[in-house]
Every structure is written in structure tokens, then in C-alpha cells.
Structure 1
Amino acid sequence: MHTFSKFCLSVMTISTLALAGCQQYIQPQEQHPAPAVEAPDQFNLQGKIGVKTPQQSGSAFFTWVQEQDEFDIELSGILGVGKTQINGKPGEVTLNSAKTGLISAATPEELLERATGWNAPITHLVKWVQAKPATRQAQLNKDSSGRIGQIIEDGWTVDLNYSDNTELPNKLVLKQALETGKENRITMVIQNR
């Protein structure tokens, strides 16, 4: 969930000096809107997550606090059973649970692979839960309201579902097609933002 977002802010104004005959004419400054500045990755989510692979399936409740490049995620089963704590900052991600003990890695993807043997673009989730693509190579499909309804990126198809006229999704379904014709599927239901 550690993001490598770079913020770019540039302000451009253009003025043109033109001469007409012997009279100097100064064209008024053109008004160009400043490029959109991406909001920082900062949110607090609560909900339920389900994972289904050809080998296993399971679900948990989650609380996810994201502050720029740092995050805290708590996963738990019904009534808080099987609590897992995941913390991350640039260059260090840790997972601590009674089942696995403490596991550390440099990236969320490396941590997931160490803990489960499974590969997934975990870092992209930070953008996907905000209805944004994580890379410039993403393919986007919009819904009838003009919101991003689907993101196809890095081998995953992410379907975003919205409640009424909300700007941010309340449900994400991530699918990864496998060579066997089966798929890996992650379903996130966001109950509170």
C-alpha cells in the first residue's frame, strides 16, 4: 500500500508582445488553468475483504488508515478473532499475527508473497480505492455517470461499484485471470470512509 506518487505543480502563463505598425500592442495574459494537483493519499476506510483463489478462500473485516506513504491496516475475523496488524512506511512493511508471527519486507508485494506465496499489485490498491489508476498504462472504462467503472491494469481487472451519486466506490472486485482458465478474486466492500 506504500505509494510512490510524485506530485507535480507547475504554473504556466503566456504573454505575447506583438507589434502592429508603429504602435506597440501588448496582448493580455491568457488565463490557463493550473494543472490539476493530485490530492495526497490520505484516507480512513473500514469494511470487509474477501479473497478467493483456486486453492483457498477467506474473508476478514478491515480498518485501513493511509497517510501519504505510510499506512496501518488491521484485519480481523468475526468478533475480532485472528487479528492481523500490517504497518508500512517507505522501505519497510511488517505483518504481525498469532498465526505467522512477525514478517518484514521492503514492499507490500514482497510481504504478501512471503506470507502467502501469492503475487498481487497491493500498492495499486491505494489508488484503486480512490477510483484512480495507479499507472499511466491503465485502461479505464467509465460508467453512465462519467465515473471510472473499470480499471484494467498490470494483469488485473478492477470493477468499481458506487452507491447512488457518490464520487468514490463502495465496492471493488479485483480479478486476475489465470492460465488454467480460473481466476484469483478479491472483493472489497467499503462500509465507512
Structure 2
Amino acid sequence: MVCWLLPPSPAWRKRIAACLMASVLAACSSLPTPPLSQTASPVAQQRMQRLAAVQQFSLEAKLAVQYNGKGYTARLEWQHDSEQDHMRIFSPLGQQVALIHRTAQSVTLTDQRGQQHQANDVASLTERLLGWRLPLTGLSQWILGIPHPASPFQASYLDSGNPATLVQDNWQIDYENYQAVTLNGTTEQLPHTTRLQQQDVRLKLVIQHW
């Protein structure tokens, strides 16, 4: 005896699709969050020691900024070493908005009109001229996924030893994902997306190239 199954009507197909979608969403919402540790494991400590020895890097990134109810996106080019930082910020159309040059003696910001401005630190200079704070001193370490050694910090770590969150200098730093990067001849897991927040300032950095 052969039984023929009739194809479901359009109404039934919609009901089946809705049930399947609800099942998928329920499964996604029930996925466990990655386990976090508040204590750095030996793997995490070794990672911090290796990356603390990094003296220089160059990167390109997308930058999203939100502050005082405002927001915009930009492109960032950054060359860093132990003696100085050289950072260019470009508008989405490719116009250079700011050139920041930091040495041990001074910090200079050249605006889009070519005028130079100086201050003792990058955060106060960018807040005065751009409206938002750029924590360049800490960022040179945070972008690698490690704290800087000059002040206390709190962190939570993934099983891999990579930090998930970091709190330092009143900044909350969240790392969304990591990628394998060869930096100065050594391959490390470095943050791909980094979010920073302090009061009304929110920054998001997405690395394009190291």
C-alpha cells in the first residue's frame, strides 16, 4: 500500500516556519555565556608578560565615537613605539581631521586647518578640540588586550587567558573577539573589536590591519 502525502497549504507552511524560527531563537537565548574568571591564570599571566614587552606597532582601524548625544565614525592610522605616538584621524570621506603627535616632552594636535595645539596629555587635548577624550597612554596597552603598569586594574578572563573585560583609569574596556596576529615576529591572539566607555564617552575600535 502506497500513501501519498499532500504538500502543506501556504498557511501551514507559514505556521511551520514560525515554529522553526521560535525554536531557533529559544535555542540561541539559552546558549551559555562563556565562563569568566576574575583571576589571571598562568596562561593569562604569560600572555601579559609577552605583550608587555611589545615596544612598537602600527595599525589601521575603524573608529566610532559617541559623546554628548553626538556620534560619528572615522578611520584611524596609528604608529606607536616607546618614544612617541603618531596618529592620524580621517573622516569617512578621507579628509584628515586631526594629526596627533606625542613625545615624552609634549603632545601636539594639528587640526584640519593646519593649526597646531599643545597640551600635557592627549586626553585633555582631544576633549578640548574634538569634544571627546582619547586615552592614548592607556590605549597603547589596552589595544593589545593588557593593562598598562602605571595604575591598578580589574579584569575578567576567558578560559583562553584572553581578557573579556578590563577596568582601569575609570575606563571600562570590553573585548568582543580576538584574532591571530603576527606582531614583531610573534603570533598572538589580539583584540579585533575593542569598546571603551568613560562617563558619556564611548569609543569602538575595529582593527583592519596590524
- Please say whether Structure 1 and Structure 2 have the same fold, judged by a TM-score greater than 0.5: yes
Change (3 A) 1:97 1:51: same
Is 1:139 matched with 2:161?
no
Q: Distance in 2 between matches of 1:100 and 1:113?
A: 18
More helix by percentage: 2
Is 1:174 matched with 2:165?
no
**Higher relative contact order at CA 8 Å, sep ≥6: structure 1 or structure 2?**
2
Q: Distance in 2 between matches of 1:148 and 1:55?
A: 29
Work out which of the residue numbers 93, 96, 115 in structure 2 matches 1:101: 115
TM-score with structure 1 length normalisation? Answer: 0.70
* 2:60 matched residue in structure 1: 46
Change (3 A) 1:104 1:142: same
Q: Distance in 2 between matches of 1:37 and 1:59?
A: 28
Work out which of the residue numbers 166, 189, 194 in structure 2 matches 1:151: 166
SS at match of 1:48: strand
Question: Quick check: 2:51–2:146 contact (8 Å CA) kept in 1?
Answer: no
Percent identical residues: 25
Question: Quick check: 2:179–2:190 contact (8 Å CA) kept in 1?
Answer: no
Is 1:190 matched with 2:207?
yes
TM-score with structure 2 length normalisation? Answer: 0.65
Alignment deviations for residues 52-99 of structure 1 (CA, whole Å, 9 cap, x no partner): 013321111011000113011111112412442111111211111225
Q: Distance in 2 between matches of 1:54 and 1:147?
A: 32
Is 1:59 matched with 2:53?
no
Work out which of the residue numbers 91, 113, 116 in structure 1 matches 2:127: 113
Q: Distance in 2 between matches of 1:52 and 1:170?
A: 19
Change (3 A) 1:144 1:93: same
Letter aligned with residue 121 of structure 1: P
Q: Which runs of 5+ in 1 are unaligned?
A: 1-34, 178-182
How far residue 100 of structure 1 moved from its aligned partner, in angstroms, is 7.4
Alignment deviations for residues 16-67 of structure 1 (CA, whole Å, 9 cap, x no partner): xxxxxxxxxxxxxxxxxxx979414310010111110133211110110001
* 1:91 matched residue in structure 2: 105
How far residue 118 of structure 1 moved from its aligned partner, in angstroms, is 4.0
How far residue 120 of structure 1 moved from its aligned partner, in angstroms, is 5.2
Coordinate RMSD, CA, aligned? 2.4
Q: Which runs of 5+ in 2 are unaligned?
A: 1-48, 181-187
